[in-house]
């Protein structure tokens, strides 16, 4: 244990370098940045609560895809009891019609490239 001082200094430098992007983002204020999305809709309620949709909308969309395509089940009972048609273009894009201002802002922010548009027609931009 003659080199314990060198090892401890080396470990501190290593962890400091690994954590430096986190500290930089916190110091510059980028750590709390959220994209400013615009929702233009007349609907008062989404098919699920907003916190759930922010974190798990793709789970919902994937389950809808499986139910519609594989089981021919097309009706969804929401958290509030209201029934919706399980359709990306017929249900979701009625409210979230501006792909550039809604979908693209969040997906670009998190570095995700959704493959929805591999099968679905890209919506014409709404207001």
- In angstroms, the CA 113 to CA 107 distance is 7
Q: Say what percent of the chain tops pLDDT 90.
A: 24
Q: Average the pLDDT over 73-80 and give the result.
A: 88
pLDDT at 14 (0 to 100): 94
Which has more pLDDT, 1 or 36? 36
pLDDT at 71 (0 to 100): 93
pTM of the full structure: 0.66
Looking up tokens 């314990």 gives: 4
* DSSP codes of every residue in 44-75: S--SS-HHHHHHHHHHHHHHHHHHHHHH---E
């Amino acid at each position: 244990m003659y080199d314990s001082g060198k090892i401890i200094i080396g470990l501190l430098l290593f962890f400091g370098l690994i954590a430096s992007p986190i500290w930089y983002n916190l110091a510059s204020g980028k750590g709390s940045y959220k994209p400013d999305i615009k929702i233009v809709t007349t609907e008062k309620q989404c098919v699920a609560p907003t916190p759930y949709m922010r974190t798990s909308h793709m789970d919902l969309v994937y389950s809808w895809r499986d139910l519609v395509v594989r089981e021919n089940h097309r009706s969804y009972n929401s958290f509030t009891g209201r029934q919706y048609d399980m359709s990306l273009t017929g249900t979701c894009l009625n409210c979230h019609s501006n792909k550039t201002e809604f979908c693209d802002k969040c997906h670009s922010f998190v570095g995700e490239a959704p493959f929805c548009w591999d099968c679905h027609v890209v919506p014409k931009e709404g207001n």
